[in-house]
Amino acid sequence: MKTTVDFFAAVENQFTIQLPSYSVNEGIARAAVAAFCAQLNPTAVELADLKCAVSEAVTNCIVHAYRDEPGEIRISVKLCEGRLIQVEIRDKGCGIEDVRQAREPLFTTDAANERSGMGFTVMESFCDSVRVHSKVGKGTTVILVKRLRK
Do residues 67 and 91 lie in contact, with contact meaning Cβ atoms separated by under 8 Å? no
Give Rg (Cα) of the chain. Answer: 15
Tell the burial category of 7 from Cβ atoms under 10 Å away from its Cβ (0-12, 13-18, 19+): exposed
Helix (H, G, I), strand (E, B) or coil at 103: coil
Of 26, 56, 88, 90, which is the active-site residue?
56
* Residue 83 bears catalytic tag: no
Of 74, 103, 115, 131, which is the active-site residue?
115
Count of CB atoms within 10 A of residue 85's CB?
A: 22
Of 26, 30, 46, 60, which is the active-site residue?
60
Tell the burial category of 126 from Cβ atoms under 10 Å away from its Cβ (0-12, 13-18, 19+): buried
Alpha-carbon gap, residue 16 to 62, rounded angstroms: 18
* Residue 13 bears catalytic tag: no
Catalytic residues: 56, 60, 115
